[in-house]
Structure 1
Amino acid sequence: DRVDIFVYLWSYLRIIIPLAYMILIFGLLYKFSPCTDKINDITLSSTLPGAIFASLGWMIISIFFSYYVNNFGRYAVTYGSLVGIVLLLIWLYISSIIIILGGEINATIEYFKVHGYKIDRERSLLFKHIKSL
C-alpha cells in the first residue's frame, strides 16, 4: 500500500522536481546575465515568465527530439558514428534558441512595464500594411 503511494507520487515528482530546479536556474541566469546598470532592479520574480517558458520549452523540445531520433532517424546506418556529433549540435542549437527566447520574453515584459502597453503605429508593419490598403 505504501509502495503504491510512493510509486504514484514519484511518477509526478520525477517531473516536477527537475522542472522546479530548471526554473530556478534559468531565473538566476536571466537575473545575473544581462549587461545592464540596473542589475539590482531585476528581481527573481520578474524573470519567472521567461524561466518557465525556457524550462517547459527545453523539456518539450528534448522529448520531441529524442522521440524523432529514436523512431525516425536512421542516420547511423548511412553516416556512421559522426551522426551523433551532428545530432548533438542540432539539439544544442534548438536549446539555445529556447533559452534566448525566454530572455526575450522577460525583456519584452519589462519594456512594456516601463513604456506602457501601447504599440507605436508608425513602426508597426501591420499598421503600415493596413494603411496601404
Structure 2
Amino acid sequence: MSRARARARAGARETVAVVRAVVAVSHEKRLLFMAASLAYFAFISLVPLLLLVVIALSTVQNGQVAIDIATYAAGVISPRSSSVLLEVVTGASDRESATFVGVVILLWGTLLLFRALDDAFGQVYGDDQESLLLGDLASALLVFGVVVGAIVAMIGVAAGLSLVLVDRVWNLLGPFVLLVVLTIVFLPMFYFFPDADISLVESLPGTVFTAAGWTILQVVFSFYTQTTGAAQLYGAAGAFLLLLAWLYIGGLVLLVGAVLNAVLADRVSADGEGLSIGYI
C-alpha cells in the first residue's frame, strides 16, 4: 500500500513538473501570438476550400447536392455559421473566375499557414535553420493534406456514422471515433515537421493531445452554438468571430501539443534551465 502511494505521489509530481514545463515553454515561445497567425491563415484558406468543394461536386453531381454537402461541411466546421459561409461560397456568379481566384487564395493561404507552422515548430525545438526549397514544398503539401484531412475527418465521421447509427449511439461513439481519426491525421505533421531527428513514439503524446483537444473543442462548440443564439444574435459578425475563435483555440492546442512532445523528450528548456523529464 505504501509503495502504491509512493508511486502515485511520484507520478503526480512528474505530471505537475510536465505541466509547469509546458506552461513555461509556451509562455517563453509566445504561443498565444503564433496561434493567432495560424488562425488567420487557416481562415483565409477555409472559404476558397469550400468554394472549390462546391464547384468540384457540381461537376459530378447536381448543384443542389453539392450545396447540401457543403452546407453540412460548413456546419460541422462551424455550427450556426454555415449559412453565412455558404452565402459567401455560393454567391459567386462567375464560377470560372471564382475557381481561379479560389485556387490562388487557397494556395497562398496554405503556403502562409505552412510558413507559420514551420516557424512555430522551429521556435519550439530551437531550430532556426532555413530549409531547402524541396523540403518547403513537401512540408507545404503535408500541411495542405493535414488541413484537408482534418476537415474531411470531422465531416466524414459525422456524416457517415450518423447515417448508420441512431442518435443516442452516435452521440456516445462519435467523439471517440473522431479522436482516433484525428490522431491518424495529425501524426504525420508531428513526426515530419520538427527538423530534429525524432522517433514515431516521441511524436505520439502531442498528436494524441491535439486530437483530443480538437475533439473536445468540436463537442464544446457544437453544444454552445446549439444552446445559445450568439451567431444568430450578431449575424455574420458573430458567425465569423465564432469561427475565428474555433480556429484560434485549435491552433493553440496544436502548438501546445508540439511543446508537450519537446518537453517530454528533453529537447527544450525553459528560461535557460534544462528539463529532465525522461519519459521518452
The aligned residue for residue 210 of structure 2 is 54
What's the CA shift for 1:18?
3.0
| Inter-CA distance 25–73: structure 2 relative to 1 (3 Å threshold) | same
Q: Does 1:28 align with 2:188?
A: yes
Amino acid at match of 1:52: V
Of 215, 234, 243, which aligns to 1:88?
243
Q: Do the aligned residues in 2 keep the contact of 1:50 with 1:102 (CA within 8 Å)?
A: yes
* Separation of aligned partners in 1, 2:176 and 2:231: 33
**Percentage identity across paired residues of the two chains:** 29
Q: Which residue of 2 aligns with 1:104?
A: 259
Q: Does 1:117 align with 2:276?
A: yes
Shift of 1:112: 6.5
Equivalences, count: 106
Normalised by the length of structure 2, the TM-score is 0.33
- SS of 2:199 mapped into structure 1: coil
For the Cα contact (< 8 Å) 1:28–1:44, is it kept in 2?
no
Amino acid at match of 2:179: L
- Which position in structure 2 is the counterpart of 1:122? none
Query: How big is the shift at 1:117?
Result: 2.1
Cα-to-partner distance string for 1:85-124 (whole Å, 9 max, x where unaligned): 11111100010011111111001011179x6627xxxxxx
Q: Distance in 1 between matches of 2:275 and 2:238?
A: 48
- One-letter amino acid matched to 1:106: N
What CA distance in whole angstroms lies between the structure 1 residues aligned with 2:220 and 2:175?
A: 16
Instruction: Provide the rounded CA distance (Å) in 1 between the counterparts of 2:185 and 2:240.
Output: 26
Q: Using the alignment, how far apart are the partners of 2:231 and 2:176 within structure 1?
A: 33
Residue 63, structure 1, aligned to residue 202, structure 2: no
Deviation at 1:43, TM superposition (A): 1.6
TM-score by length of 1: 0.65
CA–CA distance in structure 2, aligned partners of residues 96 and 112 of structure 1:
21
3-state SS of the aligned residue for 2:276?
A: coil
CA distance in 1, matches of 2:258, 2:201: 13
Ranges in structure 1 where 5+ consecutive residues have no aligned partner: 1-5, 119-133
Q: 2: CA distance between counterparts of 1:64 and 1:52? A: 18
1:75 to 1:103, Cα distance in 2 relative to 1, 3 A: same
The structure-2 alpha-carbon separation of the partners of 1:71 and 1:45, relative to structure 1 and needing over 3 Å to count, comes to: same
Instruction: Compute the RMSD of aligned alpha carbons.
Output: 2.8
Hey, what's the Cα distance between the residues in 1 that align with 2:199 and 2:175? Answer: 26
SS at match of 2:266: helix
